[in-house]
Structure 1
């Protein structure tokens, strides 16, 4: 890594006071830390991302980020908050994703959940290169499950590298390096993930399927409300 960029990365890590860097490894087999990953890929990730942020008119690293995942087009959009305005930075292809449109209901259904989530953990020792864990099930998921008496909701939903996935979002190794380093620099509390069955910025809400839970309508309305914070842009 170039000395100047290494110093800049170290300064940024100290500035953002990452809790993740201080967390102990979960097992003796985990050899890499978040710090190790940032030092290994940080220069390369920054070199790819900084021109994108400059073109969007956003400082690097940004204040806050939302990752917008669209199931129907298998696209992951990166948006950064700048002086109260959300600006589009770049798109990533979702290379691996199982299931169909609709929320995750139970363990083993291979569905990617839908809704607004947060990043809770950075995993530098993932079997899929690198990964970021989502807070599924969130409060909305838990509330609907309680009403319906569902108890085995599943978990361990990640955005990760490689190109295959069961219930998670695989975006490839290069993209995952960028997202991992960026999230490490910001802190997980500054990164949210909005997963939608389709792009409600120009597609209407549809009538529910006959076998869909009644609350999916409310979920889609919440997703549509959140997704419209991000203006349409040319692909």
Structure 2
């Protein structure tokens, strides 16, 4: 009799476990809450909500991620997020399993509403520059599945906590992943000089830092406002 009762309940439990959220489901759950949290910040920065496009600028050394929105032909700072979990050291990601957070300029490839870390945004790593340098170095198996996600721990990704993940996920879903860019840098080159290339890093890391520094000029420190 006990076996029969367990079997009767097993299909229902299995069906529940197979239920998966869609992006529309997540919008229904969090869009209003996120708007209540973020719209005052956009109003303060004199930027329309939802924004036309946004940029996420992450600094490895200080574990900070800046949110910028594009308006009237320029980028305006909106707010900062604390990176609560990441792995690796300064320097680009080179291969699968090195647990390095990549460095460079990336787009958002997809949104995952069923992430093991609440919600997540997948970066398009490796990008064209990563692949080009790997080919020159003779490296293969560059790795992948690099996300910005919720939670507080990560191996090769950026964990921002669930609340931040909700905000970034909802914005990306509202304006389209193609309108979200991500810049990851070892340090803030806007006021700190470039790093010498360490012996354990590829020689082209200096060139990569120069490219990152050039991208950073779009986000001037003078435009950061206090909240």
TM-superposed deviation, 1:211: 2.3
Q: Pick one of 223, 228, 235 that aligns with 2:212.
A: 223
Q: Over alpha carbons, which structure has the higher Rg?
A: 2
5+ residue gaps, structure 1? 1-27
Local SS of the residue matching 1:142: helix
- Report the aligned-residue RMSD: 1.1
1:145 to 1:29, Cα distance in 2 relative to 1, 3 A = farther
Q: Deviations over 1:21-79 (max 9, x none)?
A: xxxxxxx9361000000110001011000000000010001111000000011001000
Equivalent residue, structure 2, for 1:22: none
The alignment status of 1:90 with 2:79, answered yes or no, reads: yes
Tell me, yes or no, if the aligned pair for 2:77 and 2:225 is still in contact at 8 Å: no
Q: Pick one of 191, 194, 202 that aligns with 2:183.
A: 194
**Count of residue pairs brought into register by the alignment:** 208
Equivalent residue, structure 2, for 1:66: 55
**Separation in 2 of the partners of 1:215 and 1:57?**
40
Tell me, yes or no, if the aligned pair for 1:30 and 1:125 is still in contact at 8 Å: no
Q: Pick one of 162, 165, 189 that aligns with 1:173.
A: 162
Q: Pick one of 120, 128, 131 that aligns with 2:117.
A: 128
Runs of 4+ in structure 1 deviating by more than 4 angstroms, as ranges, are none
Equivalent residue, structure 1, for 2:145: 156
Tell me, yes or no, if the aligned pair for 2:53 and 2:70 is still in contact at 8 Å: yes
Equivalent residue, structure 2, for 1:101: 90
**Separation in 1 of the partners of 2:200 and 2:101?**
18
